[in-house]
Structure 1
Amino acid sequence: MTLIVLYLGLGVFAGLLGGMLGVGGGIVVVPALIWIFKQEGVQPDVLTHLAIGTSLAVIIFTSLSAIRAQQKRGAIDWAVVRLLVPSTLIGGLVSGYLAGFIPAEMLKMIFSIFLLAVSLQLLTKWQPASHWTLPGPKALWGVGLGIGSLSAMMGIGGGTISVPFLHACNVDMKRAIAISSTLGFPIALFGAAGFVLSGWHHTALPAWSFGYVDLPALLAVGATSMIVAPLGVRLAHHLPVARLKRVFGMLLLVVALQMLFSS
């Protein structure tokens, strides 16, 4: 019962933050699941993989909700999405599968460094200068491959990578967020599939695991985050989002340092 309450609480937290700040997703879910799974006695050699694979599976459902909301507003540039989707899903599948064979401590360190970079970006409010234009189809294929590969390895939907890139290419911020939200679905779907395949026969996984995806966590966190995310969007219009981002950045900084220096 306590475990389900933790999962539901995490879903609420992730949904609110995702809706209010445009972050959340794996940035929130992965470190929280690592802590929860550790308390539950999950073996260290599968702990980080299980958290990342489950996070990607959660994003499958939350990204569908985001796509629906963005489509209602007519904000999705489907021409750009169509150019990026094939390579992002390939990158997500290959990276998700290969990440399953990276040693647990190394994968945890990679995620911690990424989390540290995100926290510093939030604290400094850094954004790349908008002095480029979107590259051609071949170059976008390479960009999509990179976004999909890194996002799947980190267990995120890719917004912290794709939005700054699109902004640097003079894409309007609202349009960039809509494109990023749409790309989150193929990244999460194929990335999670990669983690399922790579963890399929691992004997150290807990019961009710589907490869490196924990089904109870997926159902509880995914359902609540989908329900709560629209509330987060509404709160964003009434709360000091810039201040909340700084507070959240400080929280991520503490979590990143703790993960880096803990055993």
Structure 2
Amino acid sequence: MLEVIKPGLLTTVQDKGRWNHLHEGVPISGAMDQEALFWANRLLTQPTDTAVLECTMIGPTLCFHTPTEIAITGGDMAPTLNGQAVELNRSIAVKAGDTLSLGGARSGLRTYIAFKGGILVPEILGSRSTNIIAGFGGFEGRALQKGDLIPIQSYCSNTQGVRKIMMDSLESSSVDTPICLPIIKGPEYRWFAEEAIVDFLKTTYQVTADSNRMGYRLKSQLALAPTLKKELLSSGVVPGTIQVPSSGQPIVLMRDAQTTGGYPRIGVLTEKAINQLSQVRPGEFVRFYLGTF
């Protein structure tokens, strides 16, 4: 077992997500930063869809009741093991009785903790990911709480050395240096005048505080509005879809996004761009440019 001493701000069980159920109205969910999930599991030489803990902004304190091996990737929450600093992006042997503590994010927004053998919660529709809004998956369909006992695989590491990877450090942004994200044209891209598209692509947007796993709300001085005045029936949406509501301030749908929407879809983020955006904090800045998959 893994005992939760402090739960952190928002710590949930996530994997690659709940695919092939959008037509049933079930969101994909899964790790917001899929690249960090991939490498956390690769460091432990296990399937890359193995369930991990996703920690947001402030990480948890965890006590191990069993030996295992872990890897920590994504944002830097200054992890310590029994009070001693440990590195990101490497495998770490853990003994029964050890305590892992993560603090506030010094870079990025989300950190991932993988365990050798994974987190042993039930699969629902082919995934162990938590959908907090619907209240299912993960550990009892919710974020971790103090006192929770999380089942993990016991594993005695006999690794002679540690496995490490080199990853680019996560960017921070400002008005002068926003993070630039590639998009492709959305289904309603042509509803917007050419001048509006030019303005959209040269505008710097700030991520607002009411952004979450379902969607990132952006704000700027620019209010986008489609030139084509046409009622849009509810249509399919996927993570990465950029919707333009009547306010003219874009919403970028993220991993827990609903399956249909009624706002014009001006663009769609690439998969890599979704990963990048998932590490952008509220108050930081982004811009968009036309790219390719």
Q: Above 0.5 in TM-score? A: no
TM tier, smaller: under 0.3
State the TM-score, normalizing by the size of structure 2: 0.22
**Relative contact order (alpha carbons < 8 A, sep ≥ 6): 1 or 2 greater?**
1
Structure showing the higher helix proportion among its residues: 1
State the TM-score, normalizing by the size of structure 1: 0.24
Structure showing the higher strand proportion among its residues: 2
For the pair shown, the structure with the greater C-alpha radius of gyration is 2
